[in-house]
Amino acid sequence: MRVKSLEREKARRLRREGHSLSEISGILRVSKSSASNWARGIELSLKARNSILVKRKQANEKSALTHQSQTRRNLEQANTFAKEVLGNISYSIDQARLICALLYWCEGEKSKNDKSLIFTNSDPTLVKTFLRNLRKGYAIDEKKFRVCIHLHHYHNPKKQLIFWSEVTTIPLEQFTKPYQKQNGGRNVRKGYAGCASVRYYDVRIARQVHAIARAFLQKGL
């Protein structure tokens, strides 16, 4: 009992000096709950309160840095894994057709007649990836492409037309007049390039793309 009493007094002294409960727990080698019980009810001086606040802030910052470091390591491991997976895949025409079909099933316009492909997205990388796989998987007539871009009031239409033409590698002559929304009070979205709707007119290819996606999903691979 004498030992516990001495530890309790030491805990209360350390608390008055501005030590955190974690520090007291570590110094006395007791649980944090015991340190908390022993130091309960102590009136702290302004200096002690400031000291505890500083240490709490430092602990939070250290914890955040540790979390960020762990997150970076996890992302690096995931990126390494992704490279290994992709390195083992041979990029064939059939694989391009499957990728194209699945991307279209997620982001493309699906109608009953399937007379054309209409892929609409604001992500330039996704649009470029869809077109790359469409072009690899099928004998494409580049003249059959048409593109309409949807912009906000703050966009420069000429600049965005050039941007999306470079993304899609479709000539500006095959772009229709941009659709520009009126100012609806929306704040400017930094880095947002608008939305591109790419249409390709070919009944046979359109139906094949839809059919591949449906068959794959029904097969449940």
Predicted confidence at residue 25, as pLDDT, reads 82
Of residues 178 and 37, more confidence is placed in: 178
pTM, two decimal places: 0.69
CA distance 204 to 182: 38
pLDDT at residue 46 is higher than 70: yes
pLDDT, tens only, 192-209 = 889 999 999 999 999 999
Mean pLDDT over residues 50-61, rounded? Answer: 80
> How far, in whole angstroms, is CA 85 from its chain's centroid?
20
Which of 146 and 81 is assigned the larger pLDDT? 146
Q: Sorting pLDDT into bands at 50, 70 and 90, what band is 191?
A: confident
Non-local (6+) Cβ contacts of 199 within 8 A are 116, 117, 118, 145, 146, 147, 148
For residue range 61-115, list pLDDT tens digits in order: 888 888 888 888 998 999 988 888 888 888 899 999 999 999 999 999 887 667 8
Nearest residue to 167 via CA among 118, 137, 132? 132
The overall average pLDDT reported for the chain is: 87
Q: How confident is the model at residue 149 (pLDDT cuts 50, 70, 90)?
A: very high
For the cut 60, the answer to whether the pLDDT of residue 1 exceeds it is no
